[in-house]
Structure 1
């Protein structure tokens, strides 16, 4: 029989070998892109969870928060980077099949990435798009505003009221030789709280997303360089639309967002899937998966606004995996996922 000392040595050896194998676990990324948990995954999760939780212990006071949002609702000073970013976006729809999606991203040298899509279900024109699409390169009407080529979005009251204006031509997506004169005068309003992705994300969910990646000095430099402030807010867009002198009044449940930062390089993004829902009971959902391999290959983002509780809850987990849906260029006709918040 083995002596107790020998048993102890064997036990310790087995445990050490097991630990080494666990720690040394370095599975290759899925299709060379989407990182998988290494042997240090849960240790990294715990470390980042602690840091992110400590960061949330010092929230801004109400007056400070109001002043903060008042300042960032304005067009931001662009960085000196070659591709700085300051972008606003509206995405709205209703149960009748009306849709409006528009965005203006201020860039360097009086350039703006801009577009507007409009579909009025009762118009029989299908989806309309602004003249230069699919090209989104526009010229600023004013360097201090969100405006370009007839599209203009303006803050009237921070976190409460914005206006959307458009006056120009639009063409039918299904027949780009058919043009229409279009004017839009819209007012977006909200009494719902915003969600700031810098401060309101669930710490554990964020820690898990960060722990997938290979940590290095370069990785954290990339995180810092690619960081963008991004916040979203659900509301209602009421607009008077005129297409070739025929008037339409529309009301859309609409998400508004604002992003700004040192730079945005679209070539660094591999894929992302963003979902916005407005329910009949007043609940709102925003759920996304982002693959930006230089920073995050599997980033989960999102939140739920509960009308019953009048409160926002950050998404804690989501089983949607981008590589399972249209990874090689063929979009799925349907898909499903579940999440918790």
Structure 2
């Protein structure tokens, strides 16, 4: 026993003097000498949280295995904004169908009755239409509109919790390529009976722990991590209804994902970039996954989930080294990667349907540049369709020219 103890101390002392490798590109933290131990510490902490309390704990204590709200009668409603100037309450709908119709529509409630919104609609034969105010996303609400996700012709309203939403737009949209204006009336209903996925409580503990284990720890680090936390859940469903473009009406049905985020702070200056992928396959597998890089808290966070045979499975691994894809600011158009969920590995091939992309900026000084891309997928060889959203930190301030 004595000799084993001596050997253990010798090995531990050797590890102590190993120098951790530098972050990739000075941004993305890599695995260090203590990372395995740190991963186990976080993993066990999350498992303990889950075992200790199964019910909701409220916004400020949520995360790391604990959900903020489990009352479906209130969780879908507009949430009270906190006092912080960067408090947020946001919903997002995005997806496509196999016929090539694509839609992204969103609303993020902020202080001073500002709603930051995106609206991109692609109709084959018409092209990519966008909200005329883009790339700006800020919409000024009146007093009655500020109680919900309403403004500038956009109307997103929960009707039945986790079952039905009203998704509407009435106004002008502009063709990204031709600059032609169209009068558009979008009248859709979101319906679902599928399970939702709560990122506070349902993410894979080992994956979350792996992300935190990469980072240098300190008391300040955990304070930053807590202050940056946002409650977030997602749910797959379908949008059905009509779109009227200059008096020509057609029925549409789109496979979409809805998400709802509520947080004390959404500070786009902290986000370096992310790459998300939302898809539906012919057999009905649905997924949302990607990698987020927020230096100072989680510089490499793999996240997401899939819905297979009606059951949600959190992402266990995302083999998508984001620094190899568009790090210079130009998003990649044709690429592949792998991810694991439900103990199954999936090969993903992404190819853009066309080079027309939705571009928008978020923040008072346009701190974040968002690129919405409409894609065809191959998931383990099976055809799929959906949206891929990339974000980059924009340090140039407000600019007028948008990339061709």
- TM-score, length-normalised on structure 1? 0.91
Structure 1 window deviating more from structure 2 (273-282 vs 94-103): it is: 273-282
Matched, 1:59 2:54: yes
Partner of 2:118: 115
Aligned ranges 1:191-340 → 2 under 5 Å: 191-307=193-309, 310-340=310-340
Q: CA RMSD in A?
A: 2.0
Count, aligned residues:
326
Q: State the SS of the aligned residue for 1:102.
A: strand
Residues 1:29 and 1:65: Cα distance change in structure 2 (over 3 Å): closer
Q: Deviations over 1:126-156 (max 9, x none)?
A: 1000110001111124111111100010000
Q: Deviations over 1:204-248 (max 9, x none)?
A: 111101111111111111111111000000000002100100111
Conservation of the 8 A alpha-carbon contact between 1:269 and 1:292: yes
Q: State the SS of the aligned residue for 2:135.
A: coil
In the TM superposition, residue 16 of structure 1 has moved relative to its aligned partner by 4.3
Residues 1:67 and 1:340: Cα distance change in structure 2 (over 3 Å): closer
| 2:36 maps to which of 37, 42, 47 | 42
For residues 67 and 218 of structure 1, what CA distance do their matches in structure 2 show?
30
Partner of 1:152: 155
Partner of 2:188: 186
In the TM superposition, residue 15 of structure 1 has moved relative to its aligned partner by 5.7
Matched, 1:71 2:74: yes
Partner of 2:105: 102
For residues 70 and 294 of structure 1, what CA distance do their matches in structure 2 show?
36
Structure 1 window deviating more from structure 2 (276-285 vs 77-86): it is: 276-285
Conservation of the 8 A alpha-carbon contact between 1:23 and 1:38: no
Q: Which runs of 5+ in 1 are unaligned?
A: none
Q: Deviations over 1:236-268 (max 9, x none)?
A: 000210010011111000000000100101121
Q: State the SS of the aligned residue for 1:82.
A: coil
Partner of 1:23: 16
Larger % of strand: which?
A: 2
- TM-score, length-normalised on structure 2? 0.77
Partner of 2:138: 137
Q: State the SS of the aligned residue for 1:127.
A: strand
For residues 126 and 81 of structure 2, what CA distance do their matches in structure 1 show?
38
For residues 287 and 148 of structure 2, what CA distance do their matches in structure 1 show?
29
Conservation of the 8 A alpha-carbon contact between 1:92 and 1:237: no
Conservation of the 8 A alpha-carbon contact between 2:235 and 2:259: yes
In the TM superposition, residue 41 of structure 1 has moved relative to its aligned partner by 0.3
For residues 60 and 202 of structure 1, what CA distance do their matches in structure 2 show?
18
**Larger Rg: 1 or 2?**
1
In the TM superposition, residue 55 of structure 1 has moved relative to its aligned partner by 1.5
Q: Deviation above 3 Å: which 4+ runs of structure 1? A: 14-18, 64-67
Conservation of the 8 A alpha-carbon contact between 2:159 and 2:165: yes
